[in-house]
Amino acid sequence: MPQDRSPRSSSRALISQGLLLIVTTLLVTLGSLLITSPAAGQGAADEPALETPASEDVKPGIDAQASFHVIGAVPQGGLRDNISLGGGVQGFIGGWLGQGPLMLGLDVAFLGYGRTTDEVPFSSTVGPRVPVEVSTSNNVLETHLSARLQRRDGRFRPYAEGLVGFKYLFTRTRIGDDDFGDDFGDDFGDEVASSTNYDDFALSGGAGAGVDVRVFRREKPAKTVQAVSLRLGVQYLLGTEAEYLAEGELTDENGDGRLDEDELDVRRSRTTFLQPQVGVTLQLGGTD
């Protein structure tokens, strides 16, 4: 009897677990919305009025929210064979439609899956007297439209969402003055020049789920931030096939002064990521 599981079987198991988590959270969210919906016209049960019985006339409406996350990027399927774990940042802004739980928004993420840095002479004539840093980074820009189900009130607000958009995969090389890089890191040096070495697009779509846990709420009406929550979530974003560079330093092997196609480690696969999220959500007051 076979004892070992193939990499493909392990990948399918991980995908199944991610989808199960999203579906479970979706069911919990729908249940939460159904339970709280009948009481929507009577006020929030978990926040009784302290000053006047008609507290809903005093409280500002919450019409929109914005969030900022730190995210991980776990490659799935064929992508998992070509790149390692990545990570980055993500932002979301959206607004509710009418008085229901449906929110439409824009989700943008920037993540990296590899970076190399070298110190080289500025030119052959100057030699090592003027060193510069050459950094090559492998990146993915994700832009998605989101349709989300989430109630506006409550200390715990689970949500589920569907997303559709695209991924832009690109490898970029940057030449910078390392005078500041030695003290503050590569990103603070002056950029001398940069170039995109390779790029491609992929259509993208998937689902996400999570929960906002409120840690602060403003009691007085104001057209500003009304509440602050901690966000825990996860997204599973399928991607169509695309070409991209594997991690590693780019080398002009034949010395002709340019990077030829056969000198680039180009990979091709579907571009699917499982993306855990940790961040902060800001609920915004109405603009009426």
Of the pLDDT bands very low, low, confident and very high (cuts 50, 70, 90), residue 18 is low
Closest residue by Cα to residue 222 from 51, 61, 43, 57: 61
Query: Residue 202: which residues within 8 A CB-CB, separation 6 or more?
Result: 166, 167, 169, 239, 240, 241, 242, 270, 271
Q: What is the pLDDT of residue 121?
A: 63
Question: Would you give the distance in Å from CA 159 to the centre of its chain?
Answer: 16
Range 152-181 average pLDDT: 86
**Choice among 87-91, 103-107, 251-255 with the minimum mean pLDDT:** 251-255
Q: Is 49 exposed, middle or buried (0-12, 13-18, 19+ CB in 10 A)?
A: middle
**pTM across the whole model:** 0.73
User: In which residue are the tokens 């409550």 written?
Assistant: 154
Range 199-209 average pLDDT: 97
Q: Does domain 7-39+57-106+138-166+196-249+264-285 have CATH number 2.50.20?
A: no
Range 74-85 average pLDDT: 94
pLDDT of 282 higher than 90 = yes
Q: What is the pLDDT of residue 261?
A: 63
Q: What is the pLDDT of residue 164?
A: 98
> Could you tell me the two tokens for 95?
């607004």
Of the pLDDT bands very low, low, confident and very high (cuts 50, 70, 90), residue 237 is very high
Range 145-172 average pLDDT: 96
Average pLDDT, the chain: 77
Q: What is the pLDDT of residue 194?
A: 80
pLDDT of 226 higher than 80 = yes
Q: What is the pLDDT of residue 175?
A: 81
Highest mean pLDDT among 128-132, 139-143, 194-198: 139-143
Predicted confidence (pLDDT) per residue in 93-139, tens digit: 999 998 899 999 999 999 999 888 877 666 666 556 667 778 889 99
pLDDT of 171 higher than 50 = yes
Q: How far apart are CA 79 and CA 267, in angstroms?
A: 9
Closest residue by Cα to residue 14 from 278, 207, 277, 272: 272
Q: How far apart are CA 261 and CA 258, in angstroms?
A: 10
Per the model's pLDDT, the better-predicted residue between 255 and 231 turns out to be: 231
165, 141 contact by CB (below 8 A): no
State whether residue 140 is helix, strand or coil: strand
Predicted confidence (pLDDT) per residue in 20-69, tens digit: 555 555 554 544 444 444 333 344 444 444 343 444 444 556 789 999 99
**Choice among 17-21, 41-45, 165-169, 195-199 with the minimum mean pLDDT:** 41-45
Range 164-181 average pLDDT: 80
CA dihedral 228, 230, 232, 236 (to 10 degrees): 30
